[in-house]
Amino acid sequence: MKRNSRMRSAILLFLAVFAAGAQADEGDPRQYVEEARGIAQEFAAELKGELEKAIEEEGASRAIGVCGEAAPDIGARLAGETGWAFGRTALRVRNPRNAPDSRERAVMTSFQQQHAEGIELQGMERIGIVEEGGLRYVHYMKPIPTQQVCLTCHGGDVKGPIQEALAKRYPADAATGFQEGEMRGAFTFIKPLEGR
Ligand code: HEC
């Protein structure tokens, strides 16, 4: 988590530089797209698997820890294997620690606009280079669609013990009321560019 918030404040600092177009010619971010895309797929598939397993074995109200704890666990393991740092964010968050910075918010707003115009979320992604103190990072984002299994805890009709557990743990929860197919949030991945 500490790492996550550090990553976030780092991205925030990079914003001005990024927006000013200080992107140098070397390190074209497009070369990292395939890698980031593959990891996003793996992350999403593992998380969905963990959620389904936990809901089946323990019931949804006990599985609420999974979306909160399995995600960072999967992220930490993938980080060790790949060198990327991982986060999830959303325009409406359950945990305020996942709140987007202004670049993340702008990217997700644009994903949502494209989706409203009829473009599939599945094909969307954004990649760019951000910079801090002479170090450069590649930043990748990809929308996370709401699936059937997510509705138990993010749908319009969350109730009973799940609703109670969520209200207790996340008093400022804004991450309900989603419908299947809507954008639930986005992956946000960052990786230092070596030797720069
Ligand atoms: C069993 C309940 C549960 C289910 C099912 C569930 N989530 Fe979550 N979700 C949570 C909780 C709890 C959090 C807050 C995690 C934290 O504390 O960081 C969360 C957070 C998130 C976040 C991070 C942004 C935020 O709102 O804080 C995203 C993105 C997300 N969920 C997507 C999904 C998707 C996509 C699915 C379906 C594949 C899903 N969730 C299914 C409980 C659930």
The answer to the question of residue 128 being in a domain is yes
Please give the model's pTM, rounded to 2 decimal places: 0.84
pLDDT for residue 20 is more than 70: no
Mean pLDDT of the chain: 84
Residue 16 lies in a domain: yes
In total, how many domains does the chain have?
Answer: 1
Q: How would you class 116 by CB atoms within 10 Å of its CB: exposed for 0-12, middle for 13-18, buried for 19 or more?
A: exposed
Q: Is residue 172 assigned to a domain? A: yes
Which domain range does residue 90 map to? 2-20+35-192
Q: Is 150 in the pocket of ligand 1 (CB under 6 A)?
A: yes
Domain annotation covers residue 118 = yes
Q: Is the CB of 149 under 6 A from ligand 1?
A: yes
Mutate to test the pocket of ligand 1, among 47, 62, 107, 153 (most ligand atoms within 8 A of CB): 153
Is 150 a member of any domain? yes
User: What is the tens place of the pLDDT at every residue in 167-191?
Assistant: 999 999 999 999 999 999 999 999 9
Residue 21, pLDDT above cutoff 50: no
Choose among 8, 16, 22: nearest CA to 139: 8
Instruction: Tell me, rounded to whole angstroms, the distance of Cα 58 from its chain centroid.
Output: 25
**Ligand 1 mean position to 146 CA, how many Å?**
10
Assess if residue 27 is contained within a domain: no
